[in-house]
Amino acid sequence: MEGQAWEAVRPDVLTALGPPEDPDALLADHTCALDAAYQDVGSRLDVNTEVRIDDAGKIHLTGVKAIEEPPSLVDLRKRTTAMLPRVDLPEVILEVMSWEPQLVEAFTAASGGRSRLEDLPTSIAACLAVHSMNVGYRPIAKTGVPALERSRLSHVFQNYFRPETLSLANAPLVAWQAGLPLAQLLRIVAADLQAYRQFQIEHLTRIKGVQNVKTEIPMETIKLTSELPL
């Protein structure tokens, strides 16, 4: 991202990341961490029989034989697959919309007037599916179904999908997800992004059973509060 596009989001990105005024110290910390990791990996190459480096400096790894799946696991997968409902992504989106009416209400017409389109949620769900999968309107559009006509989907996307409507639709989804028991298992309060990264590297990723960690940074304020959820 560069040019005007970067300048437009630059203040929000810098606010979210919270970089120090002097980046030299931050870069020095990253340099030390990278050097320590490099030396740690290098020190173990001599005793690791599964790795070799040829004369050209290329790394070769010994192939790992796949572990056969036990019959109990195969049976479990078959049973759980049979229990899962077979639905398409638009149907899932419509189901979520039924849980949270504010999601549909967030998509308002660019004109500011009240929408007179019938079955608008179906068109919105179709547009969300089309653009999230990047497949175009052909697989979703259906001739004879007003809410799924190609011209209707194009009209809805052009007039109802804007940064502000997507932001408003995202807020109730975030609130819904935060209320799930699974999402409340672990909450971390850190002084800034650098402190969180340090906690993630030194503690979170070292927990047994944690294979990977995904971090998402909002580009705008969703909820402003200093109250800790204790």
pTM for this prediction = 0.49
Q: Which amino acid is at 79?
A: R
Nearest to 116 by CA among 145, 159, 149, 150: 159
Nearest to 126 by CA among 139, 116, 113: 139
Residue 20 has pLDDT above 90, yes or no: no
- Structural element, H or E, at residue 59: strand 59-61
Q: How many residues does the chain have?
A: 230
Residue 222 has pLDDT above 70, yes or no: no
Would you state the pLDDT for residue 171?
87
Instruction: Decide: 59 and 41 in contact? Cβ < 8 Å.
Output: no
Q: pLDDT digits over 65-96, tens only?
A: 778 888 998 999 999 989 888 888 888 888 88
Residue 118 has pLDDT above 70, yes or no: yes
Residue 11, helix vs strand vs coil: helix
How far apart (Å, rounded) are the C-alpha atoms in residues 24 and 28?
A: 6
Place of tokens 């559009």: 141
Residue 124 has pLDDT above 90, yes or no: yes
Confidence class for position 226, pLDDT limits 50, 70, 90: low
Nearest to 207 by CA among 188, 193, 228: 188
Confidence class for position 230, pLDDT limits 50, 70, 90: low
Residue 182 has pLDDT above 80, yes or no: no
Would you state the pLDDT for residue 155?
93
Beta-carbon contacts of residue 123 (< 8 Å; ≥ 6 apart): 117, 147, 148, 152, 153, 156
Instruction: Decide: 228 and 189 in contact? Cβ < 8 Å.
Output: yes
Would you state the pLDDT for residue 144?
92
* 7, 12, 18, 22 alpha-carbon torsion, rounded to 10°: 20
Percentage of the chain beyond pLDDT 70 is 90
How far apart (Å, rounded) are the C-alpha atoms in residues 58 and 9?
A: 41
Joined tokens for residue 87: 């639905």
Beta-carbon contacts of residue 61 (< 8 Å; ≥ 6 apart): 50, 51
